[in-house]
Chains A and B, each alone.
Chain A
Amino acid sequence: MDPAARLGPAQIDVLAQLAVSTVLLGGIYALIAVGLTLIFGIMRVVNFAHGEFLMLGMYLAFFAFTLRGIDPYLLLVVAIPIFFAVGLLVYALIMKGVIHASHNVQIFTTVGLSTALQNVALVLWSGDFHVFRPWESSVVLRMAGTAFNLSQVIAFAVAVALTVALIALMKWTHTGRVMRATAQDRDAATLMGIDTDRVYRLTFAIGIACVGAAGVLVSPLYAAYPQAGLQFVTLAYVIVVLGGLGDMAGAMLGSLIVAAVEVAGSYIIGAAWKEVFYFLLFIGVLVFRPAGIFGQRGAETLGV
């Protein structure tokens, strides 16, 4: 929902509001995209089921709030380990067996997982929209001619903190170095004594933890339903391709670009058509700059 439309004709500086909306939205998209790009960069697998873990995060937050009255932002403390464990489990059961298989096998494994998870949600919780409003959603902050609600600000702040923590982990810790080494050359990493299976397991679990956390964070802002992940994950594909598959800094910039296109598009042409913009942007990038804005030219033809 476009925050400017919800607020009505208060004294809002349009440009400032659009800029702030872009940044707030971009921060959340970044957290979704960063998990996807991490999994792709290291495991060379496009996780077509990524959005379904986001959807599960939204449901988790919904039920924790409505059944137990748990604040979604406090829930994160539990949700992140839960999704990390889910990631480990899915890796062990499903991904481990196809990590060295062909692209087709990998594509259809994650597509199958996506279909199965979506419909598990449909069977368990029906196709209805599940919406809840914690108190943070009713608090409006006004600053320098802009207005937005507290839920958006918290979601943004937490998402950025998690993304930055992940980038720091990749850059400065031993684990991060091991993961990057595996990404660069699987065989050489194995020869250096790196347990690549462990790296993949960790990578997948971290990626799922990120997107699960993102699901909890967006739950007060968007309705949960079985296909809820789809709208976000298609965005995440756009972002990740824009930034170059596997490039985390690129994903952050890609998130801002997509958020800007979305915010400006909804303002100028109307929210109904905004998706067309980023898909056209997506196809345009695929045609003209398939390796992403900063990506190495030619990566896409290797089919990595």
Chain B
Amino acid sequence: MTGLGAERWAAIALFAAAAVTPLVVRDTYILDSVILILLWGALSAAWNIAGGYAGQVSLGHAAFFGIGAYAAALMSARYGRSPWLGLAAGVLLSLGAGAMIGYLSNRLRGPYFALSTIAFAEVLKIVASRWRGFTAGSEGVPVPFRPGFWTLGLSHVAWLYLVLVVALLAYGLQVYLERSRVGYQLAGVREDEDAAEALGIATRRRKVQAVVVSAALTSACGSMWAQYVGFVDPSHVFSIDLSVRFALNAIIGGMGTALGPFVGSVFITSLETYLRSISSWFSGVGTGFTGIYLIIYGVVLILIVRFAPEGMIGIAARLFARRARAHA
């Protein structure tokens, strides 16, 4: 259990480091990086609840992200109401959508489930880009910046703490899944569904619950992302690239581990912000640089699933175990 204890300490260190960052630096570039690391980490943690803990590997989580992003953006831009209301509406919609996808997962396994989730996100993407009267179509929705907590027009420091709370919530949910009865049942479903069912576990209900919780959290993060970034467009918020990215952080860090998504996010998000900052030095080759970090994503993904499918947490746990054995 040394590995597990070490993981908790690493998590505490990571979140504590994030919490003290604004006390030490005021540089918006660094604050922005930390905010994005936490937000992408929370999103990957949400994916991990369905994909890692319950084994419902989705490639369409952008659907829930997009629902949340559009709900918040439209609520503030179109109706002039608080984006918090939009966030709540998005979560409700995603609960429904998650239940639908979760129902599909009861009938489909493996690649069939992944394919159906892609299709679901694509349908929403098309609707969002064609329903001009409501969503403004493929031009996207600019989100107005109105300072204040109720309107989610926050300073970088305030954003950081808000996103930290969300990240802790996502982390806590995962820890709960590692310790609780429900979590063990999900692990049973993931490892051998038929055996789990034979033991009397309500496998169908557990799978749907996992997908629904995951969807709601993804949607809430999507709403925050929309307010933070200030612009929502259908070809991004519903894209497969985004769905892959949620999975990517979790896989690199370690699928089915609580800290994994955050560790993955530290690496991938820093890499991205770093390469972005380089690309602004070389103006004129901007698209090239966007492409380069995505090429790196793809290659890293292939290498990780091939050579270290348990992710960085898994590698660390193995090293710890070896050292513990050497000491014994």
Question: Are B108 and A115 neighbours in the complex by a CB distance under 8 Å?
Answer: no
- Which residue of the partner chain A has the closest CB to B127? A276
* CB of B276 closer than 8 Å to a CB of A: no
Taking a contact as CB atoms under 8 Å apart, the answer to whether B305 and A109 are in contact is yes
Q: Select one of B116, B127, B306 contacting A109, CB under 8 A.
A: B306
Nearest CB to that of B108 among chain A residues?
A: A300
Q: Is B231's beta carbon under 8 Å from chain A? A: no
B46 is an interface residue with CB less than 8 A from chain A: no
Given the interface contacts A107-B114, A120-B291, A276-B123, does A302 sit within 8 Å of B298 by beta carbon? no
Whether A234 contacts B288 by the Cβ 8 Å rule is no
The answer to whether A116 touches B298 (Cβ under 8 A) is yes
Closest to A230 in B: B240
A304 — nearest CB in chain B belongs to which residue? B110
Distance (whole angstroms) from the CB of B236 to the closest CB of chain A:
12
A46 in contact with B309 (CB, 8 Å): no
By the criterion CB–CB under 8 Å, are A98 and B108 in contact?
no
Contact yes or no, B111 A98, CB < 8 A: no
Scan B99-128; emit 1 where CB is below 8 A from any A CB, else 0. 000001001111110111011101100110
- Out of B108, B115, B122, name the residue touching A46 (CB < 8 Å): B115
Q: Is the CB of B297 within 8 A of A112?
A: yes
Q: Which of A259-278 contact B (CB under 8 A)?
A: 272-273, 275-276
Query: Which residues of the partner chain B approach A275 to less than 8 Å between Cβ atoms?
Result: 122, 126
Asked whether any CB of chain A lies closer than 8 Å to the CB of B59, the reply is yes
Q: Does B272 contact A (CB under 8 A)?
A: no
B298 — which chain A residues lie within 8 A by C-beta?
112-117, 119
> B247 on the interface (CB 8 Å rule)?
yes
Enumerate chain B residues within 8 angstroms of A230, measured Cβ to Cβ: 240
Smallest Cβ distance from B56 to chain A, in angstroms? 11
Total interface residues in chain A, CB < 8 Å: 51
A108 touches which of B110, B112, B240, B305 (Cβ 8 Å): B305
How far, in whole Å, are A238 and B122 apart by their CA atoms in the complex?
A: 12
Which of A4-12, A54-62, A279-287 touches B? A279-287
A286 to B106 CA separation, bound complex (whole angstroms): 11
B1-30 at interface with A (beta carbon < 8 Å)? none
One digit per residue, 1 when the CB lies within 8 angstroms of any chain B CB and 0 when it does not, for chain A 93-119 equals: 010011001111111110111111111
Inter-chain contact A111/B301, CB cutoff 8 Å: yes
Instruction: Report the separation of the CA atoms of residues A45 and B199 in the bound assembly, to the nearest whole angstrom.
Output: 31
Report yes or no: B244 in contact with A120, Cβ–Cβ below 8 A. Answer: no
Listed residue (B120, B122, B297) with the most chain A CB atoms within 10 angstroms of its CB = B122
- Inter-chain contacts of A107 with B (CB < 8 A): 57, 59, 110-111, 114
User: Which chain B residues in 270-303 approach chain A with CB under 8 Å?
Assistant: 287-288, 290-292, 294-295, 297-302
Taking the closest CB of chain B, its distance from the CB of A41, in whole angstroms, is: 13
* Number of A-B residue pairs having CB atoms within 8 Å of each other in the complex: 145
User: Is B32 part of the contact surface with A, judged by Cβ < 8 Å?
Assistant: no
- In this assembly, does A126 line the interface, its C-beta being within 8 Å of a C-beta of chain B? yes
Partner of A237, one of B104, B119, B127, B297: B119
B-chain residues with CB within 8 Å of residue A76 when the two chains form the complex: none
Cβ-based interface call for B241 (8 A)? yes
A290 within 8 A of B: yes
Q: Are A280 and B123 in contact (CB under 8 A)?
A: yes
Flag if B299 contacts A286 (CB, 8 Å).
no
- The CA of A108 and the CA of B114, in the complex, are separated in Å by 11
B126–A300 touching, CB < 8 Å: no
Within 8 Å of chain B (Cβ to Cβ): is A303?
yes
Q: Is B251 an interface residue (CB 8 A)?
A: yes
Closest 10 CB pairs of A and B: A116-B298, A112-B301, A303-B109, A303-B110, A115-B298, A122-B291, A123-B291, A119-B294, A46-B111, A112-B302
Residue numbers of A with Cβ under 8 A of B are 40, 46, 48, 94, 97-98, 101-109, 111-120, 122-123, 126-127, 230, 234, 237-238, 241, 245, 272-273, 275-276, 279-280, 282-283, 286-287, 290, 300-304
Known: A107-B110, A109-B306, A276-B127. 6 other contacts (CB 8 A): A98-B306, A119-B295, A123-B292, A126-B287, A279-B123, A283-B120
